[in-house]
Amino acid sequence: MVKIRLDQYSQEEYSRGKSGLYCLLWWFVQGTLFRFSLHNMYNWRRFLLNSFGAKLGLGVHVRPSAKFTYPWKVTIGEYSWIGDNVEFYSLDEIVIGSHCVISQNSYLCTGSHKLNDPTFGLITKPIHIKDGAWVASDVFVYPGVTIHELGVAGARSTIFKDIPANEVHIGFPAAFHKHRFAEEVPTEHQVTPIAQVHRIK
């Protein structure tokens, strides 16, 4: 019988991207200046994250209880919202688009382990949340997942696979539920404003 040997576990091939001292400094700042900042001090928290290598766009709102393992591996587009107790387990890259919502208690996990490896070897894969997507409350997003434009991960779902654009997926494991927005099918009688301009010309 194969035994798990955690005493032989190693992260020699993994790079955190910064020195151990730098990581400790961030964790200290996150647990103090970041964590105990007032509710509406979004600019201050954005400044702290950007100072530690994150790339946060204009108007990003991050709540003080959100956690970032390595902020220098996180990118968040303009006007996105990060809710209370959201955790960015950013062993690998996490890229959030613009106008996205990551709701409270969600967990974006970029790290796992090899099931059949006695030394429990580390695996990391990036997560991508595209523009306008919504990760609802208490959702777990698995390493390597992409949620495409306007996609929705329903509350308390576990997302093991990519969510296509404009689809709502719910459950454990999450599966297609419905389209988020009705897809308009133009008819021959419908004319766009641009077409009308061209006709006038």
pLDDT at 187 over 90: no
Give backbone dihedrals phi and psi of 190, rounded to 5 degrees, phi first: -85, 130
List C-alpha distances in Å: 7 to 16, 111, 118: 21, 19, 10
Residues whose CB is less than 8 angstroms from the CB of residue 126 and which lie 6 or more positions away in sequence, other chains included: 92, 93, 94, 95, 110, 143, 144
pLDDT tens-place string over residues 137-158: 999 999 999 999 999 999 999 9
Encode the chain in three state secondary structure: CCCCCHHHCCCCCCCCCCCHHHHHHHHHHHHHHHCCCCCCCHHHHHHHHHHCCCEECCCCEECCCCEECCHHHEEECCCCEECCCCEEECCCCEEECCCCEECCCCEEECEEECCCCCCCCEEECCEEECCCCEECCCCEECCCCEECCCCEECCCCEECCCECCCEEEEECCEEEEEECCCCCCCCCCCCCHHHHHHHHC
pLDDT value at residue 193: 43
pLDDT tens-place string over residues 15-68: 999 999 999 999 999 999 999 999 999 999 999 999 999 999 999 999 999 999
pLDDT band (50, 70, 90) for residue 1: confident
pLDDT band (50, 70, 90) for residue 184: low
Mean pLDDT of 102-122: 97
* Average pLDDT score, the chain: 92
In this structure, the dihedral spanned by the alpha carbons of residues 141, 142, 146 and 150, taken in order and rounded to 10 degrees, is: -20
pLDDT at 7 over 90: yes
Instruction: Name the region of 120 (left: φ>0; alpha: ψ -120 to 50; beta: rest).
Output: left
pLDDT value at residue 188: 52
pLDDT at 183 over 90: no
pLDDT value at residue 161: 98
pLDDT at 124 over 80: yes
